[in-house]
A and B are shown apart, each in its own frame.
Chain A
Amino acid sequence: MIPEIGHFALILALSLAVCQGVLPLVGAHRDDKALMSVARSTSFGQLFFVMISFGCLIWVFINDDFSVLYVASNSQLSLPTPYKISAVWSAHEGSLLMWILILAIWTAAVAKFNPGIPQKLISRVIGVLGLLSVGFLLFILLTSNPFERLIPAALDGADLNPLLQDPGLVIHPPILYIGYVGFSVAFAFAIAAMISGELDQNWARWTRPWTTLAWLFLTIGIALGSWWAYYELGWGGWWFWDPVENASFMPWLIGTALIHSLAVTERRGLFKSWTLLLAITAFSLSLLGTFLVRSGIIVSVHAFATDPTRGFFILAFLAIVVIGALLLYAWRAPALDSNVGFSPLSRETFLLLNNVLLVIATTLVLFGTLAPLIVEILNGGKISIGAPWFEIAFLIPMIPLVLLLGLGMHTAWRKQSSGPWIRLLRLPAIAAVVIGVALPLMFYERVNLLLIIGCGSAAWIVISSLIQPVRSWSQKKGTAGITRSALGMSIAHLGMGLFVIGVTITSAFGIESDRAMRIGESLEVAGLQFEFRELREVQGPNYKAIEGVLEIRDGGEFIGIVRPQKRQYLVQKNWMTEAGIHPTWNKDLFVALGDEIGDDTWSVRIQYKPMIRFIWIGAFIMAVGGLVTLTDRRYRKVVI
C-alpha cells in the first residue's frame, strides 16, 4: 500500500508540475496576475507530494519491504538503519527521486524568498523550473519507477553495495545533488530574462545568491566525494579523473566562471550574453553529467546500472532543454549586449581572463572524458585516457589562472592606474617567490620548477587574499572595513590557495609503497617505522573482518596506531578493504591491508601523504567564502 501511495504522489506531483510549468508562463505573457500567482502554490504543492513520495520510499526501506524491487536490490535485513535510509539514494531510481525532491525544494525556496523581484520575472523562473520538473518526473515515472513491485516478494534483499555502507556516502550524494540541481535556478533566471528580453543589473543581483548557494554546495559535495574515494576505495588517491568525477567537476568549473561573470554583470552591466551562456552551460553540463553516469555510454567504475532506454530519455530531454535554451539565446542575446568599455588594466579584464581560462579547462576535461567515445565511434578502437593527461592538460590553464587571481583581486573596476597597483603587489609577489623556493626546501629538502610554481602560486594567492582583510583589521575597523562580499571573496580565494598547497605537496612528496609484511615485522616508510603488531578478527553488525594492528613510531617516539581491516559482508560475500589512517594536520599515514600472501605474511600498502588534508580544508574554506558573500547587505535586503 505504501509504495502505491508513493507512486501516486509522484503522479500528483507531475500534474502540479505541468500546471506550474504552463500557467505562470502564460500568465506572465498575458500580464494576468491570477495565473501568475499559481506559481507559488503549485510549487509548494509539488514539494509536498514529492516529499510524501520520498517519505514512502524511506518507509519501505526502513520496514524491509522486499516486495519492492528497488528495496530488494539495494537493502538487506541486517543492514544498519542509517544505511537503510541512505540506500534510498544508492542507485539510479532512488537517486533520481532525490534529484526531483531537491529540485522541488529549490523551486519552493525561490517561490518563498523573492522580495523585490517583479512578479513577472519570478513567475517565469518558477514556470521554467516547473517544466524541468515535468521532464524529470516523466523520466522517473516512465523508465525508473522506484516503487515497482517484486512478486513474489524476496525473502531478503541483495544488500547495499558494501562500498556505499559508509558515513561519507550518506551525505555526499545529497549535497552534491543540491549543488548540481541548484544550477537549474540560474538556468531558469537566464531563460526568464531571455523570454522577457530584459536583463539589467538587478537581474544579476537576484541571480547571484542562488548561483553562489548552488556553487558552494557543489564545492562541498565534490570535496566529500573526493574524501570518500580517498579513504574508502583503499587506494589513497584523492582524484582519479574518472568520467563520473568529471561529470560533477565540469559544472563546478563553469559554475565558478558564472559566479565571476555575474559579478561583472551586476557591477558594470557587462558580459550579459556571456553570463546567460554560462548559466545555460552550467545546467547543461549537470544534465550531461547525469546522462554520462546513467546511460552507460562511458566506462566508469562508479557508473549506475545501465540502461540504454534511460540514456535515450535523458539525451532527448537534454536536447530539448539545451537546444530550446540556445535558440532563445540566439534570438534574444544580440539585443542585450551593451558597449560600455573598460580599460585593459581593470578588474573586468581579469574576470574575462578568469572566464576564458575556466572555459578552456572545462573544454579539456570534457574532451578527455568524451575522447574514448569519439575514438570508438570514429575507428572502433577502444582507448582510455590516463589520469596523467588530465593532470597536465588541466594544469596548463590553471597556472595562469592562479597567478592572475592574485592580481585581479586588487584591481579596480573600469580602470586601474598601474603605479599604486604595482606598489601594492610588488612585495607580495617577491614574498611568494621566496616562499615558493623556501617552503619545499625547508620542510621537504627538495625543490624543482613545478614545486616552485605550485608553492609560489599558493603563497601568492594566500598573501593576496589576506591583504584586504588584514588591512581592514589593522585599521581597527574589524569586519566593518570590508564588505561581506569582498571578505567572502578573500576567504574563498584563501581556500583556493590552501587547496593548491595541498595538491602540490601531496603530489610531489607523497610516498606509496606496496610491501610484504610478516606479523611482528617492522619496516620503514618515509622515515617512520611501521610495526605489524597483530592480526585479529572483528565482528561488525553485518560483516566480519580481519583487522591488522600496526604501530607507527618515529625513532623512539610513538606516533599512533592504525587498524586497517579486510571486511567480508555477510550477504554479498565480497571482501572490502577499510584503510587504517592516522591523520594529523600536516600529513596522513595510510595503511591498507591486501591479501595473505604467505604464512602470517600479508601484502600491505603503506602511504605517506603530506598536507593532503589541505585539499579538503581548502575546498571547505572556499565554500565558507561563498557563504560569507551571501550575507552581504545587498542580498540580505533582497533575500531575507
Chain B
Amino acid sequence: MNRYLIPLFVMIAMISFLLLGLGDGRDPSKLPSQYIGKPAPDFNLPMLTDLSRTLSTSTLKGQVSLVNIWATWCVGCRVEHGFLMELANSETIPIYAINWRDNRSDALNFLGQLGNPYIASGFDRDGRVGIDWGVYGAPETFLINNKGIVVYRFTGPLNRIFWEQEFVPRIAEIEN
C-alpha cells in the first residue's frame, strides 16, 4: 500500500468516529421525555403576583394548557417572552408558569415592564418544584392535556416555528 495514504485513512477513521460521537443519543441537550404520558408532578406554590393565593396541579386539570418555566436571570426567557405575549394575546391556549429560583421583585418588574403572558405564575424561589419537574435550565415549556398529563416537553426558547411544528399538531391530536 502507498504509505502516503496512511495519514488519510487515519484521519478518515478519526473523523467518522467523531461523527458517531456527535450523533443522536449522545446529545445531552436532548433530554429523554420521562414525563410524557405521566401526570404532571404535584406542586402547590404561592402565586407570584399574590402570595396569599396558590397555584397547584389541580388548577391545570380540565383544560389543555402550557406550563412555562422562567426566571429573570435567564436570557432565553427574555428571548421567548415576545412570542409568549403574542400567544397569550391570541388566546390560543392558557399559559401557566413557574417562576424558578428567582427574586420576587425582579420577577414582578420583568412582567411589569415587558408584559405578563401568564394566567398565573407559581413562585418557586428555592427551586424545589423545579427539581420535581426535572428542570435542568430555564426556559422550558410543558404541554399538559385536559387530564393533567404531560404530553410534550420543550427545552429552550420557544418561537413561532417550534410552536407550529411541535405544539400545534399535538394540541390538535388532544382535541380529537
Contacts and interface: CB of A to CB of B under 8 A. Distances in A.
Do the two chains touch directly in the complex (Cβ atoms below 8 Å apart)?
Answer: yes
Interface string A367-392: 00010011011000000000000000
B21 A322 contact: no
B62 interface: no
B78 A330 contact: no
Contacts of B26: 297, 376
Contacts of B110: 155
Interface residues of B, number: 28
Nearest to A298: B21
A69 B73 CA distance: 14
B107 to A, nearest CB: 13
A261 interface: no
A277 B21 CA distance: 26
B22 A297 contact: yes
Contact of A315 (B7, B22, B74, B78): B22
Interface in B88-136: 110, 113-114
Contacts of A273: 4
Contact of B2 (A281, A311, A334): A334
Contacts of B4: 273, 329-330, 333-334
Nearest to A311: B22
Contacts of A318: 15
A306 B17 contact: no
B22 A322 contact: no
B11 A323 contact: yes
A308 B17 contact: no
A327 B11 CA distance: 11
Contact of A308 (B22, B78, B79): B22
B28 interface: yes
A330 B8 contact: yes
Contacts of B8: 323, 326-327, 329-330
B172 interface: no
Given A155-B113, A315-B15, A326-B8, A296 B28 contact: yes
Main secondary structure of the interface of B (DSSP, over half): helix
B89 to A, nearest CB: 14
B7 A150 contact: no
A152 B82 contact: yes
A284 interface: yes
Given A297-B22, A326-B7, A306 B15 contact: no
B31 interface: no
Contact of B75 (A158, A306, A329): A158
Contacts of A333: 4
B22 A319 contact: no
B27 interface: yes
B20 interface: yes
Contact of B11 (A311, A326, A334): A326
Contacts of A296: 27-29
B17 A330 contact: no
A322 B15 contact: yes
Contacts of B18: 291, 297, 315, 373
Contacts of B21: 297, 373, 376-377
A307 B155 CA distance: 13
B20 A152 contact: no
Residue from B22, B26, B27, B114 having most chain A Cβ neighbours under 10 A? B22
Contacts of A69: 75, 79
A151 interface: yes
Nearest to B19: A315
A296 B79 CA distance: 23
Contacts of A334: 2, 4
A114 interface: no
Contacts of B78: 72, 150, 152, 154
Interface string B46-75: 000000000000000000000000000111
Contacts of B15: 315, 318-319, 322-323
A374 B8 CA distance: 20
A329 B22 contact: no
B81 interface: yes
A330 B22 contact: no
A327 B17 CA distance: 19
B2 A377 contact: no
Which residue, of A281, A312, A326, A572, has the highest number of chain B Cβ atoms within 10 A?
Answer: A326
A295 interface: yes
A73 interface: yes
B79 A374 contact: no
Contacts of B114: 152
Contacts of A377: 17, 20-21
B82 to A, nearest CB: 6
B118 to A, nearest CB: 16
B79 A158 contact: no
A258 to B, nearest CB: 14
A74 to B, nearest CB: 9
B174 interface: no
Interface string B1-39: 010110110011001011111100011110000000000
A349 B50 CA distance: 81
Interface of A: 69, 72-73, 150-152, 154-155, 158, 273, 277, 280-281, 284, 291, 295-297, 306-308, 311-312, 315, 318-319, 322-323, 326-327, 329-330, 333-334, 370, 373-374, 376-377, 571-572
Given A323-B11, A334-B2, A374-B17, 11 more contacts: A152-B114, A155-B113, A158-B75, A295-B22, A306-B29, A318-B15, A319-B15, A326-B11, A329-B8, A330-B4, A373-B21
- Which 5 A/B pairs are nearest by Cβ-Cβ distance? A326-B8, A330-B4, A330-B5, A73-B75, A373-B21
19 contacts: A69-B75, A72-B78, A152-B78, A152-B81, A154-B75, A281-B7, A295-B22, A296-B29, A308-B27, A322-B15, A323-B12, A326-B8, A326-B11, A329-B4, A329-B8, A333-B4, A334-B2, A334-B4, A373-B18
